[in-house]
Chains A and B, each alone.
Chain A
Amino acid sequence: MRNIMTIFGKEMRLIFSGPVAYVVLASFLLLTGFFFFDLFANYSQILSYASMYQNPAMLEQVNVNQMILTPLMHNISILLMLIVPILTARLYAEEKSAGTDELLLTSPIRVSEIISGKLLAGLAFYLLLLMLTIHFPAVLFKYANPDLGTALSGYLGLFLMGAAFISFGLFVSTLTDSQVVAAISSFALLLIFWILGWLAESQSGLVGEVLGYLSMTQHFEHFGEGLISVVDLVYYLSFIALFWFLATRAVESTRWR
């Protein structure tokens, strides 16, 4: 445990000593801020129409959960796919290109501890990123009446999905010594996990079901709608564990070549 914390502390120190973290935070907040403003403006416009025409059926449909919260979560989830690979690219590739993996791998510490420390650091940074978006739902709670459950399950879904992205990105980062290669390939591969959802819709029967299960999108949609199911939890947790495991194997195997 002490070793994991040593690696964790080192990673946190390194993440915040370079410009990448701040650029990622700033661009993420800029974009989510724009999404929120756009959704909010749209919502209030429809609301004012509805009250202007005194149309109860229309008012019924104007729902702050469905019109702001759920789409906001959805937009953030897409943004994550672009941002997480940039964040995770350096996690291991940088050690390789700087030769510092030679220090880590000749120290009396296990590969699984190295990978765990790095994964935790990625998660901690990501948690910070998510916390900085909390004022968007807070504004809604102040001026409207959204569903707390939906907001919480949405954040849980975002956290799990981001964690899955980070675990995956870390794995890709162990395969190369180039951060650019790591970032581009994890982005492309995450996109494929995303697209599986579209494929699933066009396929019928078992194939469609399997593809649907593998797709990141379908599991996340449930959280965004306020639905927490064991299937989705198991999906994300096993996804995180699988790529954590593959990352440790990849580091150990590169030594055998």
Chain B
Amino acid sequence: MIKVTNLTKQYGEFTAVDDISFSVGKGKILGFLGPNGAGKTTTMRILTGFMPATAGQIEIAGFDIFRQPMEARRHIGYLPEHPPLYRELTVVEYLRLVSKLKGLPRKQIGERVDIVASQCGLTDVIDNRIGVLSKGYKQRVGLAQALVNDPPVLVLDEPTIGLDPNQIKEIRELIRSLAGEHTIILSTHILPEVTMTCEDVVIINKGRVVTASTLEELTNQTNDQPRIYLRLARPTENTEKKLRETPNVLKVTRGVEPDTFTVVGEPGADPSADIGVLVLQHDWGLLEMRQQRESLEEIFVRLTNE
């Protein structure tokens, strides 16, 4: 549904996006991650036809965004980083305006505006001027605007920013419910959001793709290397050394609390059993021992700092 091939964007000498490629299948939600300044917003702006690329191709619902911009744009709903709102208009006036801009047939406008207003929880403020709404409501109006013509492709740049925890939950549920019918790209740096809403993940850093895979693959990938978390009642000075000498152990790090250790093993070989024996032999007092998965945060930090 969305296909990005060798996309590059240069601002003068500076390369904001460097030869990135990825694609999103119909009905999927892709999480687009990266630290600030990685090129997320630039990529989204090019994807929606707001800016042209220096090189590369983008296909939206089978239309090339550069060669067939009008057809491609008709298939996209876009929530930019800053919601594009007219403060002087009321919510309903604004949503009607956007429907017209998107070329929605006149007869459907009223109905679609009602639908998205209730989807995004705007029914109560529908006659209020946008300028007086709170940040959370403004964000929802921005989302409603992207949905109003029911486009098959949604590009959402940080959709839950500025919302309170309840609203975040609602919006995430809304986004999840839109998948299937819609193909969604969602940029964010809130990592739990990705875990909760997305199936596929692309992480970019300094304009380059560092990883592109499904969320499951990404979190399992690193689990070849077993990580064991250990908390002991009576560790001694040579505990760390003894642990390191255990077969199949690659790395041992002492935690922030002095009685905790993280043991990383050889890929595919779990040293847990040997560690258990070791702890008992030396009477270190086992309080806790568990397998640890590398969290998305850790993966993100590792990949974007390399």
B102 adjacent to chain A (CB < 8 Å)? yes
Does the CB pair B50–A102 fall under 8 Å? yes
Does the CB pair B100–A256 fall under 8 Å? no
B168 to chain A, nearest CB (A): 22
Q: Which among B74-82, B171-179, B267-275, B284-292 touches the partner chain? A: B74-82
Could you tell me the distance between the alpha carbons of A103 and B100 in the complex, rounded to whole angstroms?
12
Does the CB pair B78–A98 fall under 8 Å? no
A33 adjacent to chain B (CB < 8 Å)? no
Q: A3-B101, A255-B51 are in contact. Are A14 and B86 (CB under 8 A)?
A: yes
Q: A6-B101, A99-B82 are in contact. Are A108 and B52 (CB under 8 A)?
A: no
Q: Contact mask B59-79 → A, CB, 8 Å, 1/0?
A: 000000000011101101010
Does the CB pair A103–B145 fall under 8 Å? yes
B240 to chain A, nearest CB (A): 54
B19 to chain A, nearest CB (A): 20
A105 adjacent to chain B (CB < 8 Å)? yes
Q: Which among B87-95, B181-189, B201-209, B219-227 touches the partner chain? A: B87-95
The interface residues of chain A, by DSSP majority, are classed as helix
Does the CB pair B97–A108 fall under 8 Å? no
Could you tell me the distance between the alpha carbons of A106 and B154 in the complex, rounded to whole angstroms?
12
Does the CB pair B48–A106 fall under 8 Å? yes
Partner of B76, one of A14, A102, A106, A255: A106
Residues of A within 8 A of B102 (CB): 107-108
Partner of B89, one of A13, A101, A108: A13
B85 adjacent to chain A (CB < 8 Å)? yes
Task: Name the residue on B nearest A95 (C-beta).
Answer: B84
Does the CB pair B97–A6 fall under 8 Å? yes
Q: A6-B101, A108-B103, A255-B52 are in contact. Are A100 and B11 (CB under 8 A)?
A: no
Could you tell me the distance between the alpha carbons of A192 and B183 in the complex, rounded to whole angstroms?
54
Could you tell me the distance between the alpha carbons of A185 and B86 in the complex, rounded to whole angstroms?
25
Does the CB pair B48–A10 fall under 8 Å? no
Does the CB pair A99–B101 fall under 8 Å? no
Residues of B within 8 A of A110 (CB): 70
B125 adjacent to chain A (CB < 8 Å)? no
B296 to chain A, nearest CB (A): 29
Does the CB pair B84–A98 fall under 8 Å? yes
Partner of A99, one of B52, B69, B80, B88: B80
B196 to chain A, nearest CB (A): 27
Residues of A within 8 A of B80 (CB): 99, 102-103
A78 adjacent to chain B (CB < 8 Å)? no
Does the CB pair A107–B101 fall under 8 Å? yes
Does the CB pair B101–A104 fall under 8 Å? yes
Q: A107-B73, A108-B70 are in contact. Are A98 and B50 (CB under 8 A)?
A: no
Task: Name the residue on A nearest B157 (C-beta).
Answer: A102
Could you tell me the distance between the alpha carbons of A255 and B65 in the complex, rounded to whole angstroms?
14
Q: Which of B234-251 contact A (CB under 8 A)?
A: none
Could you tell me the distance between the alpha carbons of A18 and B88 in the complex, rounded to whole angstroms?
8
Does the CB pair A103–B101 fall under 8 Å? yes
Residues of B within 8 A of A108 (CB): 69-71, 73-74, 101-103
Residues of A within 8 A of B45 (CB): 102
A109 adjacent to chain B (CB < 8 Å)? yes
A257 adjacent to chain B (CB < 8 Å)? yes
A17 adjacent to chain B (CB < 8 Å)? yes
Does the CB pair A6–B78 fall under 8 Å? no
Could you tell me the distance between the alpha carbons of A106 and B48 in the complex, rounded to whole angstroms?
6
Partner of A105, one of B49, B71, B85: B49
Task: Name the residue on A nearest B72 (C-beta).
Answer: A108
Residues of A within 8 A of B98 (CB): 103, 107
Residues of A within 8 A of B97 (CB): 6, 10
A241 to chain B, nearest CB (A): 24
Does the CB pair B49–A106 fall under 8 Å? yes
Residues of B within 8 A of A98 (CB): 84-87
Does the CB pair B78–A106 fall under 8 Å? yes
Task: Name the residue on A nearest B155 (C-beta).
Answer: A106
Does the CB pair B11–A257 fall under 8 Å? yes
Residues of A within 8 A of B103 (CB): 3, 107-109
Could you tell me the distance between the alpha carbons of A109 and B69 in the complex, rounded to whole angstroms?
9
A116 to chain B, nearest CB (A): 14
Partner of B85, one of A6, A100, A255: A100
Q: What 4 additional pairs, Cβ within 8 angstroms, besides A6-B100, A98-B84, A100-B86?
A: A10-B86, A10-B97, A106-B50, A256-B51
What are 9 sample pairs from A and B whose C-beta atoms fall under 8 A apart? A3-B101, A10-B86, A10-B97, A99-B80, A102-B78, A103-B80, A107-B102, A107-B103, A255-B51
Nearest 5 A/B pairs, CB to CB:
A103-B84, A17-B88, A107-B101, A100-B84, A99-B82
Query: Which residues on A are within 8 Å of B, measured CB to CB?
Result: 2-3, 6, 10, 13-14, 17-18, 98-110, 255-257
